[in-house]
Amino acid sequence: MKEYNYEEINRMQKAALERVRNMQIKSENAVKGTENENISQLREKFYSTISEAPKTEHIPMPNNIPERKEEKYRSFDDVFSDANKASAPGNTVEPPAVISDIFRDPDKSLLLALALLLKADGAGEDLLMALLYIML
């Protein structure tokens, strides 16, 4: 997107204001049916009736802005090389023995499911800890 300086923005605003004034004059002519009057006379009358827009304080742009130096970023592969090494087929992580034991034994699986259901219903921590102790 193009960046505009203050003078360009000011010029565009003045041009837009001029177009608005011309449209207002044309609409007044259409409503009143006074198409015979000269547009310049209407402009003078219009400008005399409309007060000037309030002047806004202009904050000057800084003159000595340093140029941006090209920053060097690490490549995508460098950033994610550790993650790629960890997910390599030879580096699979074995789950802890406790988790694999729970899913091998149907009684422990049932107790885990019961503990999860009770937790969802808002059971106390002492009941849940007792179930986990029985599971182990």
* Structure tokens that stand for 95 in this block: 């789950």
Sign of the torsion formed by the C-alpha atoms of 122, 126, 131 and 135: positive
Per residue in 89-122, pLDDT tens? 665 666 667 677 777 888 888 888 898 899 999 8
* Structure tokens that stand for 34 in this block: 């006074």
Cα–Cα distance list, 31 to 26, 34, 40, 45, 118 (Å)? 9, 8, 18, 16, 77
Per residue in 12-70, pLDDT tens? 999 999 999 999 988 888 777 655 556 777 777 766 666 555 566 777 777 777 776 66
Q: Distance between CA 39 and CA 22 in Å, rounded?
A: 9
Long-range interactions of 75-83: CB distance < 8 A, separation 24+: none
Beta carbons of 107 and 136 less than 8 angstroms apart: no
- This model's pTM is above 0.95: no
